[in-house]
């Protein structure tokens, strides 16, 4: 770290601790404010309501009895405000005398307008109306109760405008890509940062060491949705400036559940469910002929050229044959218990949960019988059901009040899991690839490329042990001064194993592995974080209030990997020891960053809020010649307070924000280092060195800056809430990899800060309480966004970058756009009902077809409540569009070496289908084109549907419980699209397996999304 930066951080730390050291002697005798917060309509106490002492940094949450207490309140007059998600806020005044306790109760009315909601920011908890940027809030605790949430990504899907969850595979345990307001980087990750209870955590999107097709795991799915209270999403640099390096892609702030003062309350649930793949897979077509040289490969072109005569066309896929289909409904089960409670001095929340899910893959039919015979009935469980997840999560949160001015918050989470994955997606060596991609009819190898028994013999495992801990100390040395220190540590121990039993896998597909092979990678990833913060609130005049915040952070990321391999195993052996050949390697990667900020807010009559901030960061990944750059932040929020209660417009706020944030290069991208290499000198072999990485001493972080404007409105007596946001985001100094010519003295690639990327769009959200009667209520939430992504500059002299075959980075077009030569026309000139080479015209050069990632998304949630909430019905619809998908599965079936697609075999195939297939297979003198296999990727899905029965109190008491409920729900129940394949949502390249997978939009033998049916029984005690 540079000396100047160390001095700046030392000064900031001394300032923080100097402020908190103010003596207590000046404090007058204190009083307190206490009260009850209830639902105005029912009179029921409201738990987890936030009560704010206006003009200070003090916020208290109500307990399960709806009670709150402010202690250590100085004498004077105060405004107290009560808020809760889904209710109108209320404000009342209290006059506190020395040593007096003032009682102040609140009754809140339901409302979708949330301007006064308390949200988490880098400068502490603030009212939403004080900040000039949009923050999306998800009530995760409510969602987990009413919806079939099987992984963390489900909590985000369709619930926040501008946030897209791009699920790559339907296999159990696989992950998703998360994109917030588009993609910023050409070469680096576009994933957001994640914080749990103030602790930065590892959220690696590509979490498996070996290539088992396109699928991969994601560490963000280690989180237990049932332990989460709420999620807040900070969407871009305009809001994320103060979070420092890596915040350019947005920040996801996760708050887990905590206890409240009161008696211990137990919650127990049992969940059972089914996992289904009811899809009909593609049909394989084979031209049969009496000429053995063309059986079963007599194509339409062969017929047109007189090479053979089709006697018939066989249509078959073993995936659709009930006697062979190696897919069968799986099941999931989940059991959980938690307890929360405490007293005035300490509160706690403790939970334990076990989850198990078995995917849809199963050994069946002939394969089951053959393996049973070969193993004398001892079929390995991993071969019988090769896709299974078992997970145990534990959590212990506590809060200890050390005094009226200080408290400690402890957040501890532990996970252990075991995942089994078959080879899948983007490979022929999977059951989907071997069925859809077989290229042989039923009378050859039963219609498979590889039989399921051989595929399922390969065993891929991932074991995880993960601990995340955070300790936060809060101190109010003065009524106007808040200090906070948070220490966090997140460590994940991972073991990935890939095992091919000797003689059990295909010798054709795996000639070396058929001799027996085992690969083991052990990795540890740790993130250490330290956050120091202090804020002072003060009155400038009768109309103006001020708030000054200063903070600093330190982060250290460390990853270690060790790899061992054994080849040539004895039959029955699964040990590296005794292998014919062995290999091993290890690596170590560390990065450190430190930064600090100052933030100043001024407010006028609780109506106008102006904020300015500045941040400085240093990072070990920066080039030697780059020091640091200041990152500014500006925001304004204006609230109209005097709107008529009976009018159409009841509340209104205008807001605007500007900010900058950065993303660091890869940990070793700036470094030059060497590797050992064999050389020839004087006709003799010798040991030498060569460049392993060229490095770049001038390498800088990518700089993203964003401006957003918008408004929030409450309409029709605040029964309708409308939020609109317009944003423009630009990333400068984007990292571009360039090839170095040998004449410069080295060969290889080198990163330079050359590119510029922009994203712009509009986000809308509408919340409404349409009907609110005692026996019937109906609420509706619609959120969505329109966005545009552009690569503004690629760098002088840099040619467009090709990703795979059909995706490119081209200036003035979206990142990873889909390109190829178009089919201009086709005509059956000779009238034989067959499109042959020469009967179609292709463009000379590749042209842009469309964006690879969705540019439009809409989520619609609607909920109904019947008979005083005895029954609840909730549905979530999810729409994405504006993008294209390459149907590479169907393309490969035409041009993958063996022709068995309908367009080139079946004489009844439409002429346009024949033209698309012929252009991709035969092409013209300039080559082939995939143009005919680019398809619109839009879809509408009934993502969730749930029905909840809340048992009457007397029924619950009869069971010995205080409350009981039963929820029946389903996920991915219905889809509408124009896609000729099975599921346009899949991505054969996963989250990070290939260099272009940041933008990949290819369906290549991919597992479609599965359907979940879930029943959950909840009891409270």
- Lowest mean pLDDT: which of 135-139, 159-163, 210-214, 414-418? 210-214
Which of the residue ranges 21-25, 428-432, 780-784, 1007-1011 would you say has the lowest mean pLDDT? 21-25
Answer yes or no: are the C-beta atoms of 761 and 182 closer than 8 Å.
Answer: yes
Distances in whole angstroms, Cα of residue 568 to Cα of each of 277, 380, 423, 575: 37, 21, 21, 10
Q: pLDDT per residue over 775-832, tens digit each?
A: 999 999 999 999 999 999 999 889 999 988 899 999 999 999 999 999 999 999 999 9
Paired with 462 in beta bridges are: 419, 496
Q: What is the pLDDT of residue 24?
A: 42
Question: What string of H, E and C letters represents the secondary structure of 793-818?
Answer: ECCCCCCCEEECCCEEECCCCCCCEE
Q: Which tops the pLDDT comparison, 495 or 15?
A: 495
- DSSP codes of every residue in 423-474: SBSS-SSSHHHHHHT--S-TTSGGG-SS-HHHHHHSEEEEEEEEEEEEEEEE
Distance between CA atoms of residues 777 and 775, nearest Å: 7
Residue 116: which pLDDT band, with cuts at 50, 70 and 90?
low
Q: Are 248 and 192 in contact (CB under 8 A)?
A: no
User: By CB neighbour count within 10 A (0-12 exposed, 13-18 middle, 19+ buried), where does 744 fall?
Assistant: exposed
Residue 793 CB burial class (10 angstroms; 0-12, 13-18, ≥19): middle
Mapping DSSP onto H, E and C, the string for 666-701 reads: CCCCCCCEEEEEEEEECCEEEEEEEEEECCCCCCCC
455 backbone φψ class: left, alpha, beta (φ>0; ψ -120 to 50): alpha
Contact by Cβ (8 Å): 311, 286? no
Residues 6 or more apart in contact with residue 373 via CB below 8 angstroms = none
Contact 23, 487 (CB under 8 A): no
Beta bridge partners of 730: 705, 758
DSSP class of residue 955 equals H
814-825 per-residue burial string, b: 16 or more CB within 10 A, e: under 16 = bbbbbbbbbbee
DSSP state of 110: B
pLDDT at 15 over 70: no
Cis peptide before 296 (omega within 30 of 0): yes
Strand positions, DSSP E, 741-846: 748-772, 776-793, 801-803, 807-809, 817-820, 823-826, 840-842
Q: What is the pLDDT of residue 8?
A: 43
H or E element at residue 382:
helix 381-384
Identify the band that residue 1008 occupies on the pLDDT scale cut at 50, 70 and 90: very high
| Sign of the torsion formed by the C-alpha atoms of 108, 111, 116 and 117 | positive
Q: What is the pLDDT of residues 875-894, one digit of tens each?
A: 999 999 999 999 999 999 99
Number of neighbouring beta carbons within 10 Å of residue 572:
9
Rounded distance between C-alpha atoms, residue 907 and residue 929, angstroms: 22
d(CA 100, CA 939): 62
* 121, pLDDT greater than 90: no
More confident residue, 213 or 355: 355
Q: How much is the pLDDT for 129?
A: 84
Two structure tokens written together for 503? 């003689």
Residue 907: C-alpha distances to residues 440, 487, 919 (Å): 19, 69, 17
Q: How confident is the model at residue 742 (pLDDT cuts 50, 70, 90)?
A: low
pLDDT in tens, 246-296: 899 999 999 999 998 888 999 999 999 999 999 999 999 999 999 999 999
Cβ-based neighbour number of residue 176 at 10 Å: 25
Segment holding 258, helix H or strand E: none
Helix (H, G, I), strand (E, B) or coil at 957: helix
Higher pLDDT, 121 or 443: 443
- Residue 974 φ/ψ region, left for φ over 0, alpha for ψ in the -120 to 50 degree band, beta for the rest: beta
Q: Would strands 163-167 and 963-977 be described as parallel, antiparallel, or unpaired?
A: unpaired
Q: From the centroid of its chain, how far is CA 392?
A: 21
Cα 68 to Cα 62: distance, rounded to the nearest angstrom: 5
Q: What is the mean pLDDT of residues 67-72?
A: 86
CA distance 821 to 801: 17
Q: Which residue has the tokens 């008979």?
A: 867
Higher pLDDT, 125 or 394: 394
DSSP helix/strand/coil, 935:
strand
The pTM (predicted TM-score) of the whole model is 0.90
Q: Is the pLDDT of residue 408 over 50?
A: yes
- For residue 357, which of 169, 149, 150, 208 has the smallest C-alpha distance? 150
The predicted structure's pLDDT at residue 442: 92
List, in order, residues 6 or more apart from 577 with CB less than 8 Å away. Answer: 566
SS3 for 232? Answer: strand
Give the separation between CA 986 and CA 880, rounded to whole angstroms. Answer: 13
Tell me the pLDDT tens digit for each residue of 328-343: 999 999 999 999 999 8
Question: Which pLDDT tens digit goes with each residue over 433-461?
Answer: 999 988 889 999 999 999 999 999 999 99
Spatial distance between the Cα atoms of 461 and 421, rounded to a whole number of angstroms = 6
What gap in Å lies between CA 642 and CA 607, rounded to an integer? 10
Cα–Cα distance list, 370 to 107, 320, 367, 376, 384 (Å): 70, 21, 5, 10, 12
Closest of 761, 680, 682, 765 to residue 722, by C-alpha: 765
Q: What is the mean pLDDT of residues 57-79?
A: 85
In 3D space, the residue among 805, 797, 949 whose CA is nearest the CA of residue 873 turns out to be: 949
Question: What is the pLDDT at residue 261?
Answer: 85
CB 196 within 8 A of CB 469: no
| Residue bearing tokens 């137990």 | 266
Angle at CA of residue 1008, ends 1006 and 1010, nearest 5°? 145
The predicted pLDDT at position 21 comes to: 41
For the chain, helix (H) and strand (E) counts, in that order, are: 13, 51
**pLDDT (0 to 100) of residue 744:** 52
Percent of the chain topping pLDDT 90: 67
Average pLDDT, the chain: 90
Between 998 and 899, residue with greater pLDDT: 899
pLDDT of residue 682: 66
CA 70-72-77 angle, 5° bins: 75
pLDDT tens-digit series, residues 519-558: 999 999 999 999 999 999 999 999 999 999 999 999 999 9
> For 300, phi and psi rounded to 5 degrees?
-65, -35
Predicted pLDDT at 27: 41
pLDDT band at residue 994 under the 50/70/90 scheme? very low
**Which among 284, 460, 281, 447 is positioned nearest to 366, based on CA atoms?**
447
Among residues 930, 915, 904, which one has the least CA distance to residue 826?
915
Structural domains of the chain in order of their starting residue, each with its CATH number: 29-110 (2.60.40.1120), 145-277+326-665+700-816+852-883+937-1020 (2.40.170.20), 284-320 (no CATH), 666-699 (no CATH)
* Burial class (CB within 10 angstroms; exposed 0-12, middle 13-18, buried 19+) of 896: middle
Mean pLDDT of 859-873: 95
The residue assigned the tokens 């549905």 is 875
Given a cut of 70, is residue 410 above it in pLDDT? yes
pLDDT at residue number 441 = 92
């Amino acid at each position: 770290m540079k000396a100047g930066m160390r001095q700046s951080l030392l000064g900031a730390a001394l300032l923080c601790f100097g402020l908190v050291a103010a003596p207590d002697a000046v404090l007058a005798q204190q009083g307190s404010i206490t009260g009850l917060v209830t639902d105005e309509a029912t009179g029921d106490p409201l738990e987890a309501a936030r009560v704010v002492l206006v003009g200070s940094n003090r916020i208290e949450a109500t307990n399960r009895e709806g009670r709150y207490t402010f202690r250590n309140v100085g004498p004077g007059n105060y405004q107290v405000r009560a808020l809760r998600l889904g209710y109108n806020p209320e404000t009342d005044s209290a006059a506190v005398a020395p040593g007096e306790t003032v009682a102040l109760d609140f009754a809140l009315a339901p409302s979708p307008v949330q301007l006064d909601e308390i949200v988490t920011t880098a400068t502490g908890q603030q009212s939403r109306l004080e900040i000039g940027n949009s923050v999306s809030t998800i009530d995760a605790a409510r969602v987990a109760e009413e919806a079939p949430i099987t992984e963390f990504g489900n909590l985000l899907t369709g619930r926040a405008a501008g946030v897209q969850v791009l699920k790559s595979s339907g296999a159990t345990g696989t992950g998703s890509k998360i994109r917030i307001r588009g993609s910023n980087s050409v070469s680096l990750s576009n994933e957001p940062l994640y914080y749990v209870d103030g602790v930065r955590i590892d959220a690696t999107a590509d979490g498996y060491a070996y290539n088992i097709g396109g699928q991969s795991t994601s560490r963000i799915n280690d989180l237990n949705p049932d332990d989460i209270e709420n999620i807040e999403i900070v969407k871009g640099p305009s809001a994320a400036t103060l979070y420092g390096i890596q915040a350019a892609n947005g920040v996801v702030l996760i708050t887990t559940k905590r206890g409240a003062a009161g008696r211990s309350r137990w919650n127990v649930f049992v969940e059972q469910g089914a996992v289904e793949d009811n899809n009909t897979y593609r049909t394989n077509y084979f031209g049969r002929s009496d000429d053995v040289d063309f059986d079963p490969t007599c194509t339409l072109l062969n017929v047109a050229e007189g090479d053979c005569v089709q006697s018939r066309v066989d249509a078959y896929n073993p995936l659709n044959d009930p006697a062979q289909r190696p897919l069968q409904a799986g099941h999931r089960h989940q059991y959980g218990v938690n307890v929360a409670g405490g007293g005035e001095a300490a509160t706690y929340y403790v939970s334990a949960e076990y989850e198990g899910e078995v995917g849809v893959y199963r050994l069946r039919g002939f394969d089951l019988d053959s393996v049973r015979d070969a193993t004398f009935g001892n079929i390995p469980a991993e071969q019988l059901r090769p896709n299974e997840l078992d997970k145990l999560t534990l959590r212990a949160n506590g809060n200890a009040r050390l005094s009226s001015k200080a408290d400690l918050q402890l957040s501890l989470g532990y996970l252990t899991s075991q995942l089994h994955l078959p080879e899948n997606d983007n490979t022929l060596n999977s059951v989907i690839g071997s069925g859809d991609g077989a290229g042989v009819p039923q009378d050859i190898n039963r219609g498979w490329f590889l039989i399921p028994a051989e595929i399922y013999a390969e065993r891929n495992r991932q074991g995880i042990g993960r601990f995340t801990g955070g300790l936060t100390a809060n101190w109010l040395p003065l009524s106007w001064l808040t200090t906070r220190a948070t220490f966090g540590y997140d460590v994940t121990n991972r073991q990935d194993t890939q095992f091919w039993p000797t003689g059990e896998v295909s010798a054709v597909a795996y000639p070396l592995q058929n001799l027996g092979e085992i690969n083991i990678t052990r990795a540890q990833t740790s993130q250490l974080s330290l956050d120091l913060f202090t804020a002072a609130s003060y009155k400038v005049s009768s109309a103006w209030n001020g708030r000054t915040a200063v903070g600093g952070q330190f982060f250290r990321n460390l990853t270690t990997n060790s790899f061992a391999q054994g080849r040539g195993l004895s039959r029955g052996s699964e040990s590296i020891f005794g292998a014919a050949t062995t290999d091993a390697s290890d690596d170590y990667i560390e990065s450190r960053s430190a930064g600090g900020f100052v933030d100043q807010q001024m407010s006028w009559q609780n109506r106008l809020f102006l904020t300015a901030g500045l941040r400085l960061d240093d990072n070990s990944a920066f080039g030697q010649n780059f020091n640091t750059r200041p990152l500014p932040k500006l925001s304004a929020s204006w609230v109209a307070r005097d709107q008529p209660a009976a009018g159409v417009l009841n509340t209104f706020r205008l807001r605007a924000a500007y900010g900058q944030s950065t993303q660091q290069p890869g940990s070793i991208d700036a470094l030059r280092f060497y590797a050992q290499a064999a050389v020839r000198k004087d006709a003799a072999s010798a040991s030498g060195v060569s460049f392993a990485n060229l490095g770049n001493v001038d390498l800088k972080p990518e700089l993203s800056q964003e401006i957003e404007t918008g408004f929030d409105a409450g309409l029709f007596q605040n029964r309708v809430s409308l939020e609109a946001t317009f944003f423009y985001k630009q990333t400068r100094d984007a990292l571009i990899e360039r090839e170095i010519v040998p004449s410069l003295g080295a060969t290889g690639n080198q990163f330079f800060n050359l590119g510029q990327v922009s994203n712009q769009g509009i986000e809308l959200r509408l919340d409404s309480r349409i009907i609110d009667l005692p026996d019937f209520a109906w609420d509706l939430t619609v959120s969505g966004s329109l966005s545009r992504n552009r690569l503004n500059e690629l760098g002088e002299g840099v040619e467009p970058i090709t990703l795979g075959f059909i995706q490119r980075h081209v200036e003035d077009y979206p990142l990873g756009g889909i390109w190829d030569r178009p089919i201009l026309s086709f005509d059956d000139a000779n009238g034989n009902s067959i499109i042959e080479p020469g009967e179609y015209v292709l463009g000379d050069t590749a042209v842009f077809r469309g964006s690879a990632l969705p540019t439009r998304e809409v989520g619609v949630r609607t909920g109904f409540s019947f008979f005083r909430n005895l029954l609840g019905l909730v549905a979530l619809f999810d729409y994405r569009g504006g993008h294209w998908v390459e149907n590479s599965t169907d393309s490969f079936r035409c041009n993958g070496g063996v022709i068995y697609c309908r367009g080139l075999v079946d004489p009844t195939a439409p002429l346009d289908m024949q033209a698309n297939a012929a252009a991709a297979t035969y092409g013209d003198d300039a080559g082939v084109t995939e143009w005919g296999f680019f398809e619109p990727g839009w879809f509408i899905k009934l993502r969730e549907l749930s029905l909840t029965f809340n048992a009457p109190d007397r029924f619950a008491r009869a069971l010995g419980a205080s409350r009981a409920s039963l929820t029946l729900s389903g996920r991915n129940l219905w889809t509408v699209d124009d896609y000729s394949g099975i599921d346009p949502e899949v991505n054969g390249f996963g989250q990070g397996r290939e260099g272009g997978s940041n933008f990949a939009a290819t369906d290549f033998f991919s597992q479609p999304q599965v359907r979940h049916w879930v029943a959950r029984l909840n009891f409270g005690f």
